[in-house]
Structure 1
Amino acid sequence: MIRTLAIGLTALALAAPAATADAAEPTKIVLLAGRPSHGPGDHEFNAGIKLLAKCLAEAPGVEPVVVTGGWPEDDSVFDGAKALIFYMDGGGGHPAIQGDHLQRLQKLVDKGVGLGFMHYAVEVPKGIPGNKFIDWIGGHYETYFSTNPHWTARFESLPDHPITRGVKPFAIKDEWYYNIRFRPDMEGVTPILTATPDDATRDTPHTSPGGPYKHIQEAKGRPEVLAWVVERPDGGRGYGFTGGHNHVNWGDPNFRKLNLNAILWTAGLEVPEGGVECEVSAEDLKKNLDPK
């Protein structure tokens, strides 16, 4: 079933129990949505996470648990989880790096819990937070090194990986981050989505902080990794995905399926041969939007 946990509130049922393949205990996956951010239709973390949870609840043997409002007041909600998926504002205010949260996450990582970070949640300051993300998921967005223009990424081919099962080549406009600070020589990092920004994208001043950046311009013609995975020595898995600015993009079946597959994979589950199937209507996309 889907459970939701708002900050300071107890869990409540949002949907009927999902069918399970057998009587085995379902795999618990905690999906964390950040606080309202940006204008209507952008950074709709609450609506996006609940949409993904709806789809995951339809997958056999999966128990998605939704946390809204950022980091839970009682992180016992993480007990027994096989993966945590973060979709929220990042940077210096990232909920995952406040107080002792990095240390708490490290304890979960040491137990083999998978971690996934989507869009702004892949951004943390360099130094201790950045180094943790490099260890956990292979890389992170680094201010003034990475960049964040809005552009249409064209994924003309996809690697042979469980996360790409059932996903067809596609193109979609989003705030795709690139020039991610990865491990040296991409050690242990498997690219999942790769696209080449055009020259206008590299030259645009419309980034935050404002561009263009010389080192970004000098790399014209280079393909960029926009989603990636790692398998850690502790047995856990990590996933980074830089898209997700525009809520409407969750309506794209390939964009959606790739992330649903990635969530299952990050939790150590087998991804179905055709990928995670889930129908999403225009009405579904309008549900749970933040009042902005």
Structure 2
Amino acid sequence: MRCLLPLLALCTVFAADVAPETGGPDPIPATGPGSRPLRIFLRSGPKSHGPGDHDHPAFLRDWLPLLKERGAQVEGGDVFPTAAQLAQTDVVIIHRQVGGNFKPEEREIIDAYAKRGGGFVVIHAGAVAGGGASDDYYRDLLGGSWRQKVTRWREGPMQLNFVDHDHAITKGVADFGMKDEIYYDLDMLPGIHALATAPTPKKKGDGFESQTQVWTYEKEGAQRAFVFIPGHTYVNFSRPDVQTLLLRGIAWAGRKPVETLEKK
């Protein structure tokens, strides 16, 4: 037995030297030396509605270079991203008509991306799916979405009122009004974090009921989502307050500091 002890010790050392690493490489830090740029895929679509509204091609044209100028790696277009593309993506921006109307094979790609902690930023009609089970799926992905035959809309002057002024995305941004479009009676999960609301046409007491228009949603161990319901009228994307919210929301969804894409 005494003779076996040195041999056992030697075997233990050897096994430790040759055992494969199971933890993988250290994660790339969000900031500082060795950090990588935020990787974004912008899912766009054809223009819909009248002049100046739902101008998805203009958003793609203007925001691809804007995001690149802020240091992000960006690609995008009307075509659905491949699994290989999303494997190299931190944030998917969805700004297109019926943005959640995924084919079965597309849903598989989205599921894999969400499960690994991918980020979603969804703007206006990007929060609409195709009805039925697709509405349930999209609600569960984003924390809330349009519900066919239930959700309503109102186009015209709107007022965005912040209900969380201390969140990193909204900090320092004042309530504001603009001509755009709200959605109300959305299908919302209780786990969303409301950032801003807007009055709806629904009467409540002596006034009108306010409902959430901007929110975040996190699923533990999986996706992050930032949803911005305004965005009907294209000129509003030039507003500094709207740009600030979107740029911060994109960074937040990508698990970067919210100031990552703001001008230095």
Interval of TM-score (by shorter of Structure 1 and Structure 2) = 0.7 to 0.9
Matched, 1:178 2:184: yes
Shift of 1:165: 3.3
Partner of 1:86: 94
Superposed CA deviations along residues 51-71 of structure 1, whole A, max 9, x for unmatched, are 3333322334x2122x22242
Matched, 1:250 2:237: yes
Partner of 1:64: 74
**RMSD between aligned residues:** 2.5
Superposed CA deviations along residues 27-63 of structure 1, whole A, max 9, x for unmatched, are 2111111122223311111221343333322334x21
Normalised TM-score (structure 2): 0.79
Contact 2:96 2:125 in 1 (8 A): yes
Shift of 1:182: 0.4
Superposed CA deviations along residues 123-178 of structure 1, whole A, max 9, x for unmatched, are 11443212222221101111221111113222344512111134222111111112
Secondary structure of the residue that 2:178 maps to in structure 1?
strand
Q: Partners of 2:155 and 2:91 in 1: how far apart? A: 29
Q: Cα gap change, 1:36/1:155 in structure 2, threshold over 3 Å: closer, same or farther?
A: closer
**Residues 26-41 of structure 1 mapped to structure 2, 5 A cutoff:** 26-41=37-52
Superposed CA deviations along residues 159-209 of structure 1, whole A, max 9, x for unmatched, are 1211113422211111111221101xx2x2111221213xxxx2xxxxxxx
Q: Partners of 2:192 and 2:149 in 1: how far apart? A: 22
Secondary structure of the residue that 2:42 maps to in structure 1?
strand
Amino acid at match of 1:128: A
Q: Partners of 1:178 and 1:254 in 2: how far apart? A: 22
Matched, 1:167 2:176: no
Secondary structure of the residue that 1:107 maps to in structure 2?
helix
Q: Partners of 2:79 and 2:88 in 1: how far apart? A: 19
Contact 2:100 2:138 in 1 (8 A): no
Question: Which segments of 5 or more consecutive residues in structure 1 lack a partner in the other structure?
Answer: 1-19, 203-215, 279-292
Superposed CA deviations along residues 187-233 of structure 1, whole A, max 9, x for unmatched, are x2111221213xxxx2xxxxxxxxxxxxx567962111111111111
Secondary structure of the residue that 1:196 maps to in structure 2?
strand
Matched, 1:142 2:129: no
Q: Partners of 2:102 and 2:203 in 1: how far apart? A: 31
Amino acid at match of 1:32: R
Q: Partners of 2:100 and 2:225 in 1: how far apart? A: 18
Shift of 1:109: 0.6
Partner of 1:132: 137
Secondary structure of the residue that 2:41 maps to in structure 1?
strand
Partner of 2:199: 196
Matched, 1:55 2:42: no
- 2:220 paired residue among 220, 233, 238: 233
Q: Partners of 1:141 and 1:156 in 2: how far apart? A: 21
- 1:113 paired residue among 101, 111, 118: 118
Contact 1:89 1:120 in 2 (8 A): yes
Query: Per residue, is there more strand in 1 or in 2?
Result: 2
- Residue identity (%): 23
- 1:155 paired residue among 160, 163, 180: 160
Shift of 1:120: 0.8
Question: Which segments of 5 or more consecutive residues in structure 2 lack a partner in the other structure?
Answer: 1-30
Contact 1:165 1:271 in 2 (8 A): no
Shift of 1:277: 3.5
